[in-house]
A = this chain, B = another copy of it.
């Protein structure tokens, strides 16, 4: 049989496959803490519980999995986050009551101010402090997924400046250091922190400053592709 004939007679629906979805752990930095975007589920299963923004692939509109991820995140935040990276894929027979299911998970970062303002007023979508997730009733295995995402981001904080994507376009070095400290879970030496970023030439110094009761801090922007730079030696 030729391939052409095979493809003509091939029927995708003839084989039962697991449920396949996409979920994102979207982090931001706001009011000195790390927050995760959660959505209150409007439908069964786990209706009423909080879950990650995500959903099913639409084979008509989405050309790649990343299209699905961006579409779902844009629905909730109004914009496509500047940092999106695949985290892991989880699949087993029991994570979803409907049966065998697989979810492709992503980590995303966004500046809090860049999200559509009504997020805080629409009750179904909320930023939750990543240290208060214990108080939230989470759907499926989303608590584990968030934990894995946070751990991965902690690693990135040790050898990259990826966490900068959770800040506004212009930010200060103390701000960036603080989000790294939150992720790593310990205080860092400001000298060490500044030195490595300076030596790697990752940021562009603007001529603006911002004061918070003391000496004003210089505002910086990320240089192109600084997000993919990795230091050869870790912090912490």
Q: Is A1 an interface residue (CB 8 A)?
A: yes
B93 and A59 contact, CB distance less than 8 A: yes
Distance (whole angstroms) from the CB of A158 to the closest CB of chain B:
8
A183 to B119, CA, bound (A): 47
Q: Is A16 an interface residue (CB 8 A)?
A: yes
A44 and B1 contact, CB distance less than 8 A: yes
B102 and A15 contact, CB distance less than 8 A: no
Which positions 48-94 of chain A face chain B at CB distance < 8 Å? 56-57, 59, 62-65, 86, 88-94
Query: Which residue of chain B lies nearest to A59 when distances are taken between CB atoms in the complex?
Result: B100
Q: Is A233 an interface residue (CB 8 A)?
A: yes
Q: Is A209 an interface residue (CB 8 A)?
A: no
A44 to B10, CA, bound (A): 10
Interface residue count on the A side (C-beta < 8 Å) = 41
Q: Is A225 an interface residue (CB 8 A)?
A: no
Tell me which residues across on chain B come within 8 A of A59, comparing CB atoms.
Answer: 16, 18, 93, 99-100
Which positions 1-50 of chain A face chain B at CB distance < 8 Å? 1, 3, 6-7, 10, 12-13, 15-20, 44-47
Render A163-202 as a binary contact track against B, CB cut-off 8 A, 1 for contact. 0000000000000000000000000000000000000000
Between-chain CB contacts (< 8 Å), 24 pairs: A3-B46, A3-B47, A3-B97, A7-B44, A7-B45, A12-B19, A15-B56, A16-B59, A17-B19, A17-B56, A17-B57, A18-B20, A18-B57, A18-B59, A57-B102, A63-B94, A64-B91, A65-B89, A65-B90, A65-B91, A65-B102, A86-B88, A104-B104, A233-B234
Binding site for B on A (CB under 8 A): 1, 3, 6-7, 10, 12-13, 15-20, 44-47, 56-57, 59, 62-65, 86, 88-94, 97-100, 102, 104, 232-234
Query: 4 more A-B contacts (CB under 8 A) besides A1-B44, A17-B56?
Result: A6-B45, A13-B16, A17-B57, A18-B20
